[in-house]
Amino acid sequence: MRATTLGGSGVRVTELSFGAAGIGNLFRPVSDEAASAAVEAAWDAGVCTFDTAPHYGLGLSERRLGAALRGRDRDTYTVSTKVGRLLDPNPEGGRGDDLAHGFAVPDTHRRVWDFSSDGVLRSLEASLHRLGLDRVDFALLHDPDHHAEQALTEAYPALERLRGEGVVKAIGIGVNQCALPTRFLRETDIDVVLLAGRYTLLEQEGLAEVLPEAAARGRSVIVGGVFNSGLLTDPKPGSTYDYAPTPPHVLDRALRMKAVTERHGVPLRAAALRLPFGHPAVASVLSGARSAEEVRDTVDQLGRTVPAAVWDGLRAEGLLPPARPRPCCDAGRRNQSAEEGVDESWK
């Protein structure tokens, strides 16, 4: 699988990244065996970039990911985790569940927002313990929406120091909004933005500032949430959109998109996966999976050719803005401006 680097950091990422929230029991339980098989399937497909966070299943995602990667050459894969939420033991933990936060796990711990310098150090130390690794390759500020000033003045400088000391190779921010990452791109020296749900077939907000700003400054964007939490895999009544019931007008738009792509023999989810690669700032698309079957389907869909007629058809019906960058139709290819730093030989 093709790989490229994050900004000027030298950190390599495959064009498809494995999002490990699903193996942290996002919404429903996943067995240890299924979680391990999902990571194994990703590895077998050439996916060498894995993203996790303490938030995902109260540490379960990190523990499972670390276990699945154990024994592999540490220099052959890239791992990212996040800071901003510390996990403290819940005095009444284990009696209930964590479904209020989206994870089907016992509530053995509680999340404590902490974007202080000490909080960053404590978070990374705990993550390394759960992962069973001696390092992560890049660390992201996780959802600092309501803690922007502390994240900028305390957490970011701590990450910058860790990068300078070689503890991590790259740093960035992971959010599902556009204003804050744009500010970080302008005011700090981050290497990467993980932008979830804001550059998809249904959402184009990232095109206004985040993606152009990243490209202009030589930084990278990893695009997550390309299915808008499920709707674009198979739009139908009852589908979720941004982790909530889909409004009727959004469902109608998704169904119209599906009709256009399928007229050209292309599944909607294949177009959703391919779309971000039309922009030169995009280094990777991150997709979550909770089973080997889901991983293999995602890899297959990303490998499909999406002809130019699909993008033209979506524009003609007013489903995509005219100025949106069009991905190259050949599977696995990028716009020429994004070719620099691409390494097709990794793994």
Q: Where are the beta strands (DSSP E) in 6-102?
A: 12-14, 16-19, 49-51, 78-83, 85-89, 97-98
**Rounded CA gap, 329 and 312, in Å?**
12
Specify whether the CB–CB gap between 171 and 165 falls below 8 A.
Answer: no
**DSSP bridge pairs for 110:** 88
Per annotation, catalytic residue among 56, 77, 156, 241: 56
**Rounded CA gap, 142 and 139, in Å?**
9
Burial 94-128 (b: 16+ CB within 10 A, else e): eeeebeebebbbebbbbbeebbbbebbbebbebbb
The yes-or-no answer on residue 241 being catalytic is no
**Rounded CA gap, 116 and 260, in Å?**
48
The one-letter code for the residue type at 159 is L
**Rounded CA gap, 26 and 21, in Å?**
6
- Residues annotated as part of the active site: 56
